[in-house]
Structure 1
Amino acid sequence: MHSLPNDCHVIDLESWPRKQHFAFFKEFSLPYFNVCVSLDMAALYEQCKSAPYSFFHSYIFLTLEACHDYAPMRQRIIDSCPIQLSTVRASVVELADDDTLRFSYFEKHDSIQRFSEHALQVAKESKGQPFFSEAFAATEGQPDLIHISVLPWLNFTGFSHAVSEGHGLGIPKLVFGQYDKRTGKIPLSIDVHHALMDGLHVARFVQILQEKINDYCN
């Protein structure tokens, strides 16, 4: 049994339009599906050249905002029941000095300035700790996360994740690729649990994220 996070509620299956879809897909041995898209980041990239905030921090900040604006990205499965979270955090993969990965746990903030200050401090602490740190033990595997990785070396068109046995909590997995200075595009891989979301929901989230990026630059 998992304890429910604060600020969440169990979705009423009887009134939920996805009741039958949820029952069908949650029993799949591989219930996640993947979509790879391209985001137009040209304006954001150019703006960050002269801004005090990094390109990386800016699009992670906007991604967290988009997740909070779109409820399906905050739905999870706990003890075979669908739940709706009010807030989520980002579990972001970053490289330590020895080229091994660490997880940095970023909270949502209302401004890019506060978020960037927070992210810099969290990253400094996580990179100075071993992989199995106290933060990892206390945070990884919690349902109120969005898993985010960045592969700035690869302009990919497809992606697959390492998976473990079990159905998981329905946590979305996002991977940003290499920014293409010629086209202004960046690839984004999105893995979501099919019991909670369909392709239409992924498309709506991508639209919200792209609008966040565009509005941020205006």
Structure 2
Amino acid sequence: MTSSTPFMQPFDLESWSRTQHFELFKNFAQPYFNVCVRIDAQQLYQYCKTQSLSFFQAYIFCTLKACHAYEPVMLRILEQKPWLLNQVRASVVELDKNDTFIFSYFNSKSTFAEFAVHASEVSKKAKSQPLFSDAFEQTEGQADLIHISVLPWLNFSAFSHAFSNGESLGIPKFVFGQFDKSTGTMPLSVDVHHSLMDGLHVAKFINVLQSAFDDFCNS
């Protein structure tokens, strides 16, 4: 891939302040690093509860919105070079019957009302199909994704992912844990590729995500 597409464009290595950092980390056997934080979800949770909205759908919507608002999260690695996405979708792990899971693929929408309808339809269809569905075959392995897992049963303080030996695209991975009603917070695990982001970038993204949570209640 050598030219721009409607979905992504080459990122200028020459003017990037992290060019040497990119080269340093891109060939690491395990180039991702993890940060676990607690995000304030009190307002978002209460707002969803009083408005009869899905809290799950709300924080997925906010995460997609935050990703689009923060450029480093939109970077990917293709052909050993950085590329900048114009849009991303969410590959979300959802609980299925018999305590197994499936993947739902959610597109970003301009309003939560649109997203809620879309997400409900996607979830319903995904849960009627096997894990290795047509959507899985057509979507997994694409660069324009973020990976989101949800663990509403666990109030965790650390997390690690399973990793394959395949080529890494630099896709960020987010895990949301159990909402704690006593503190109004929920654990959030963030895994990012060190060629594309450092700890400072993760901190800035979390601030953007927190603002998305707070702004949701004022929309």
TM-score by length of 2: 0.96
Distance 1:87 1:184, change over 3 A: same
Shift of residue 27, structure 1, vs aligned partner? 1.2
Corresponding position of 1:148: 148
* Structure 1 residue 215, shift from structure 2 partner: 1.7
Asked whether the equivalents of residues 3 and 9 of structure 2 are also in contact (C-alpha less than 8 Å), the reply is: no
Deviating beyond 2 angstroms after TM superposition, the runs of 4 or more aligned structure 1 residues are 1-7
* Aligned residue type for 2:125: E
Aligned residue for 2:119?
Answer: 119
13-22 vs 153-162, which moves further: 13-22
Question: Equivalents in 2 of 1:5, 1:51: separation in Å?
Answer: 40
CA distance in 1, matches of 2:3, 2:14: 22
- 97-106 or 186-195, larger mean C-alpha shift: 97-106
Q: Return the alpha-carbon distance in structure 1 between the equivalents of residues 3 and 30 of structure 2.
A: 24
Supply the distance in 1 between the matched residues of 2:194 and 2:77 (Cα, whole angstroms). 11
Q: Using the alignment, how far apart are the partners of 1:2 and 1:129 within structure 2?
A: 36
Q: Which runs of 5+ in 1 are unaligned?
A: none
Call closer, same or farther: CA 1:34–1:5 in 2, change over 3 Å.
farther
Q: Give the equivalent residue in structure 1 for 2:47.
A: 47
- Superposed CA RMSD in Å reads 1.5
- 1:117 aligned counterpart, secondary structure: helix
CA shift for structure 1 position 51: 1.5
Cα distance in 2 for partners of 1:216, 1:118 equals: 18
| Bigger mean CA offset, 134-143 vs 3-12 | 3-12
CA distance in 1, matches of 2:117, 2:195: 36
| Pair 1:161-2:134 in alignment | no
Shift of 1:216: 1.7
Structure 2: which 5+ residue stretches go unaligned? Answer: none
Cα distance in 2 for partners of 1:5, 1:120 equals: 30
Q: Taking structure 1 as reference, are residues 169 and 209 closer, same or farther at Cα in structure 2, changes over 3 Å only?
A: same
CA distance in structure 2 between the aligned counterparts of 1:83 and 1:69, rounded to whole angstroms: 16
CA distance in 2, matches of 1:7, 1:136: 20
CA contact (8 A) 1:30 1:167 kept: no
Are 1:94 and 2:97 matched, yes or no?
A: no
Displacement of 1:155 in angstroms is 0.3
Q: What's the offset of the Cα at 1:167?
A: 4.1
Q: In the alignment, is the contact (CA less than 8 A) between 1:26 and 1:167 conserved in 2? A: no
